DNA sequence: TTGTATGCGTTATCAA
DNA sequence: TTGATAACGCATACAA
C-alpha cells in the first residue's frame, strides 16, 4: 500500500495500538499528561507504520500553517537569490515551510500571487515587491497576514521593515569618488521609482552638497536595472558635456553593463572613467576590472526579516521592528584617482 | 474586524445571503446545478465580504493541496536560480503554489526537507537533489508523492526525469577543442559523483577516443564545482606534464575560476590555454574573455519538469516520461586555435 | 491517565 | 435547484 495514496492517520495508529485517537495525538505531540509506557509504545507503532502528521489538518484546527510566503520580483537576480537563501535557511531551522512567489515586475502577477498566498493561509508574508505603495498593498498590509517588508517600503509606512540605509550607502560611494579627486560624477538611476532609487539619488545629492559641488541634473540618467540597461546607457553617459570622470550606478548589474559599454566604446575603466555599483553581489568580484561597490548585508536582511516575522508570530519579544542596516564600501579595481578633469 | 484574525467563511456568506453553506460553495466554485440568480447574488456578497477560500480546508476534504515541492541544493547558484524561476512560472500559471526547500548539499537537511514537504502533503515533488541514490531517496520515490527528478537520476532509475544529455554536451565541448587543434585537453570534474559528472567525463573520454587520442588519467583532476574550486585547481592544471593546451570543466563556475587562476599565474586565455565550461549561465557572458560553454536548456528543463508533474497529477496524457534534452555549444572568447603544441 | 465529543472550513453525497 | 448531513485528519475541552 503506497503511503502517498493512503497515508496512515492517527486513527490507524489508534487501532493498531488499542488506544484512542486522542491518546495517540498526545503521545506523538509530546504532551506531559500521558503514561510513559503507552507513549513509547504508541510512538514505536507510529514510526513502524511510517506515520507522518497531516499538516493541513493540523493547520485547520490550530489556525496556523507554519508556513511563510515570500514574494520577490525575480529569483534569478543574485540579490534576490541570496535573500531567498537567507530566508529559506531561517524558515528551515524553525520548521517553517517557505512558499515562493515571483512577481516578475508585474503588478498583476504580484496581486495574484498575494491572493494565492492569502488563500493558502500562510502565517506571515515577506515582501520585496515591485510596487509597494499601491492601494491593494496598503489594504494587504492593514488587513492581511502579518507582513515584513524587505528592502523597500512605501512612504509613511511604519510597520515591520528590514533593509539597507540607501542614503548612507550612496554617500559612501560618492565620498569615495570625491576622495579620489572626482568632481564630475554621474549617477545612473532607474525608471522604477520604487523607493530605494530615490534614497540612493538623495544620498548622491547630499554627499555632493557636502563637498560644495553643485548638483547638475544632466549628470543623472535613468536606465533599466540590468546589465543590458547599463550597457546601453554607457553611450549616453559619454555624451554628457563635460564628460563625467566617474559613474555611480543604482546597482551592480547596471555598473557591470556600464563597464562593458564603456569598454566597447574604447573607454578604459578605471583609467578614463571610474565606476561604482551598489549591492555587493558576488559577480562583481569576477569582472575585469573587479567592481568597486557599496555592499548591502543581504544575508542579514533576509535572516533578520524572517526571524522578525517568526518571532512576532510566536509572540516572542522583538527588539526592533524597523531595521535600517548600514551598507559598506568595497573598494576594488573599477575606481581610481581622477586623471583628466 | 481584521481579515487575518477573523477571515470570512462560507458560513458567513450563507448567513448574509440567506442560503445554505452548500449553495454558497457551489455558487463560488462555479458548479452547474445552481440557479443563475442566486449564484450571482452569492458571488456579489462573497466579494463584498472579501471572501477568500481556505485552501487548507479544501485540501483536507479533496485530498490534494495544489502545491508542489521543489528541492534544490543552492538557490544562489545561477543554474538553480533559473530552474526555480522556470518551475515557479509554470506553477503560478497553473494556480499551484511552490514550496521551496534547500538542501545546502547536506543529506541531513535534504532528508528533513523531504519530511516536511511530505507532511505538508504537497501533491508532487521536483527534485534536483544532492545524493539521488540513497536508500531514503529510493524509498521516497517508491512510496512518497509523485516525483520528477531534474538534471540527475540514480543509476537504473526509470521514472519521470528531465535533464540534459551530458554525454552529448561534453562531446560537443571536446570536439570543439579538437577542431581547434588541441590534443592535450584536461578535464576538471567534481568530487561529488552525482551522476552528471560521470556522464560528462564519459563524453570527454568518448570524444577523445573518436579522435584516436589516448585517454590520460593525469589530465583529469577534481575540484569543487565553484569559482573558488576552479581558481584553486588552476595551479594543478599548469603543473601537469606535458602542459594541457585546453581545459574542459564540469561547469561554468569552475571554468570562470580556472580563467581567473590562470590569469593570476600569468597564463593568457585563450592564447595560452583555451577554456570551455558547461551550463550556459548568464555570467559567462560578462567575463573577460567571455566563456565558451556548453549551454543547457535550463528554462526548458524546469518548465518541462513542472508541466510533466502537473499533467500527471491532473491525469492528463503525457508524451514522454523521460526527457533528455540536447545541450548546445556557445562559442565565445575563451577558446582559440592551439598555438604551441 | 485516558476516552468522548466537538469543531476547524470545505466539499461531497444524498434527499427533498 | 436546494439543504441537511457526513466526512477529511487533527487538536482541544471536558468528562470519566
CA distance A115 to A121: 10
B159 and B140 belong to one structural domain: yes
B42 and B85 belong to one structural domain: no
For position B136, what pLDDT does the model report?
79
* Inter-chain touch A117–B97, beta carbons under 8 Å: yes
What is the torsional sign of CA B43, B46, B50, B52? negative
Residues 61-80 of A with CB under 7 A from strand D: 61-62
User: Which tens digit of pLDDT belongs to each residue from A98-151?
Assistant: 999 999 888 889 999 999 999 999 999 999 977 777 887 888 888 889 999 999
B188 and B278 belong to one structural domain: yes
Q: Are strands A161-164 and A147-150 parallel, antiparallel or unpaired?
A: parallel
For position A34, what pLDDT does the model report?
87
pLDDT above 90 coverage of chain A, percent: 83
B251 and B177 belong to one structural domain: yes
* Inter-chain touch A100–B115, beta carbons under 8 Å: no
Question: Would B337 be classed as within a structural domain?
Answer: no
Question: Would A3 be classed as within a structural domain?
Answer: no
User: Which tens digit of pLDDT belongs to each residue from A281-302?
Assistant: 999 999 999 999 999 999 999 9
CA distance B91 to B99: 10
Q: Which of residues 44-73 of A touch B (CB under 8 A)?
A: 50, 52-57, 59-60, 65, 67
Q: Which residues of chain B have pLDDT under 70?
A: 1-6, 194, 340-341
For position B105, what pLDDT does the model report?
82
B310 and B277 belong to one structural domain: no
- Inform me whether the C-beta atom of residue B252 falls under 8 Å from chain A C-beta atoms: no
B122 and B266 belong to one structural domain: no
CB-based burial, B139-177: b 16+ in 10 Å, e otherwise: ebbeebbbbbbbbbbbeebeebbbbbbbbbbbbbbbbbb
CA distance B60 to B122: 12
Tell me what the pLDDT averaged over chain A comes to: 93
CA distances from A237 to A185, A289, B258, B268 (A): 10, 19, 34, 32
CA distance B257 to A149: 36
Question: Would A61 be classed as within a structural domain?
Answer: no
In this complex, the nucleotide whose C1' atom is nearest to the CA atom of residue B22 is D3
A185 and A288 belong to one structural domain: yes
Of A114, A119, A118, the closest CA to residue A102 belongs to A114
What DSSP designation does B327 have? Answer: P
List CB contacts of B165: < 8 A, sequence separation 6 or more.
B324, B325, B326, B327
| Residue B10, CB, strand C, below 7 Å | yes
B250 and B201 belong to one structural domain: yes
- Inform me whether the C-beta atom of residue A1 falls under 8 Å from chain B C-beta atoms: no
A283 and A178 belong to one structural domain: yes
A156 to chain B, minimum CA–CA distance in Å?
21
Q: Which of the nucleotides in strand C have any atom less than 7 Å away from a protein CB atom?
A: 1-5, 7-13
For position B206, what pLDDT does the model report?
97
- Inform me whether the C-beta atom of residue B82 falls under 8 Å from chain A C-beta atoms: yes
Question: Would A178 be classed as within a structural domain?
Answer: yes
Q: Are B170 and B203 in contact (CB under 8 A)?
A: yes
Q: Which of residues 259-298 of B touch A (CB under 8 A)?
A: 260, 283, 286-288
A18 to chain B, minimum CA–CA distance in Å?
24
For position B340, what pLDDT does the model report?
62
Domain count, chain B: 3
A157 and A254 belong to one structural domain: no
For position A45, what pLDDT does the model report?
94
CA distance B144 to A145: 31
From B51, which residue of chain A is nearest by alpha-carbon distance?
A119
What is the value of pTM for the model shown? 0.95
B195 Rama sector, left if φ>0, alpha if ψ -120 to 50, beta otherwise: left
* Inter-chain touch A119–B53, beta carbons under 8 Å: yes
pLDDT (average), residues A312-316: 94
The string of DSSP letters for B158-203 reads: -SSEEEE-HHHHHHHHHHHHHHTT---EEEEE-SS--SHHHHHHHH
User: Which tens digit of pLDDT belongs to each residue from A144-175?
Assistant: 899 999 999 888 888 999 999 999 999 999 99
From A259, which residue of chain B is nearest by alpha-carbon distance?
B286
* Inter-chain touch B120–A97, beta carbons under 8 Å: yes
A232 and A153 belong to one structural domain: no
CATH code assigned at B231: 3.40.50.2300
For position A340, what pLDDT does the model report?
61
Q: Are A260 and A231 in contact (CB under 8 A)?
A: yes
* Inter-chain touch B76–A88, beta carbons under 8 Å: no
A276 and A302 belong to one structural domain: no
CA distance B109 to B163: 23
Question: Would B253 be classed as within a structural domain?
Answer: yes
Q: Is the pLDDT of residue A4 over 50?
A: no
To the nearest 10 degrees (0 to 180), the angle between helices A78-93 and B78-93 is: 80
Question: Would B2 be classed as within a structural domain?
Answer: no
CA distance B184 to B274: 11
Q: Is the pLDDT of residue A194 over 80?
A: no
Measured from the Cβ of residue B74, the count of other Cβ atoms closer than 10 Å reads 17
Question: Would A337 be classed as within a structural domain?
Answer: no
Question: Would A30 be classed as within a structural domain?
Answer: yes
| Residue A10, CB, strand D, below 7 Å | yes
Of B110, B140, B139, B124, the closest CA to residue A92 belongs to B110
From B69, which residue of chain A is nearest by alpha-carbon distance?
A99
Strand ranges inside A88-243, DSSP E: 97-102, 124-128, 147-150, 161-164, 185-189, 220-222
CATH code assigned at B23: 1.10.260.40
User: Which tens digit of pLDDT belongs to each residue from A43-66?
Assistant: 999 999 999 999 999 999 999 999
Cis preceding linkage at B289, omega within 30: yes
- Inform me whether the C-beta atom of residue A312 falls under 8 Å from chain B C-beta atoms: no
User: What is the extent of the structural domain holding A190?
Assistant: 166-296
Amino acid at each position: 500500500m503506497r503511503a502517498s495514496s493512503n497515508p496512515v492517520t492517527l486513527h490507524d495508529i489508534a487501532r493498531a495500538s488499542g488506544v484512542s485517537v486522542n491518546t495517540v495525538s498526545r503521545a506523538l505531540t509530546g504532551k506531559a499528561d500521558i503514561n510513559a509506557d503507552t507513549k513509547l509504545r504508541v510512538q514505536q507503532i507510529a514510526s513502524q507504520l511510517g506515520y507522518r502528521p497531516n499538516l493541513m489538518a493540523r493547520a485547520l484546527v490550530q489556525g496556523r500553517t507554519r508556513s511563510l510566503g515570500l514574494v520577490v520580483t525575480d529569483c534569478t537576480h543574485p540579490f534576490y537569490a541570496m535573500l531567498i537563501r537567507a530566508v529559506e535557511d531561517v524558515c528551515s531551522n524553525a520548521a517553517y515551510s517557505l512558499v515562493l512567489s515571483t512577481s516578475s515586475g508585474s503588478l498583476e502577477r504580484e496581486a495574484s500571487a498575494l491572493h494565492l498566498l492569502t488563500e493558502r493561509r500562510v502565517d506571515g508574508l515577506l515582501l520585496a515587491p515591485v510596487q509597494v505603495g499601491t492601494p491593494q498593498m496598503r489594504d494587504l498590509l492593514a488587513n492581511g497576514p502579518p507582513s515584513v517588508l524587505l528592502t523597500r517600503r512605501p512612504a509613511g509606512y511604519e510597520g515591520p521593515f528590514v533593509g539597507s540605509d540607501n542614503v548612507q550607502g550612496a554617500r559612501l560611494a560618492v565620498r569615495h569618488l570625491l576622495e579620489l579627486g572626482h568632481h564630475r560624477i554621474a549617477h545612473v538611476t532607474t525608471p522604477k521609482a520604487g523607493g530605494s532609487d530615490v534614497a540612493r539619488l538623495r544620498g548622491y545629492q547630499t554627499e555632493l552638497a557636502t563637498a560644495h559641488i553643485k548638483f547638475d541634473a544632466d549628470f543623472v540618467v535613468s536606465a533599466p536595472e540590468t546589465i543590458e540597461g547599463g550597457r546601453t546607457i554607457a553611450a549616453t553617459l559619454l555624451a554628457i558635456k563635460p564628460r563625467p570622470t566617474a559613474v555611480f550606478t543604482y546597482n551592480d548589474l547596471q555598473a557591470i553593463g556600464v563597464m562593458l559599454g564603456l569598454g566597447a566604446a574604447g573607454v578604459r575603466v578605471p583609467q578614463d572613467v571610474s565606476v561604482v555599483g551598489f549591492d555587493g553581489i558576488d559577480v562583481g568580484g569576477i569582472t575585469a576590472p573587479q567592481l568597486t561597490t557599496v555592499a548591502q548585508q543581504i544575508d542579514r536582511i533576509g535572516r533578520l526579516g524572517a526571524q522578525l516575522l517568526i518571532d512576532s508570530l510566536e509572540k516572542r519579544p522583538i527588539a526592533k521592528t524597523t531595521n535600517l542596516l548600514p551598507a559598506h564600501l568595497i573598494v576594488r579595481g573599477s575606481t581610481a584617482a581622477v586623471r583628466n578633469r
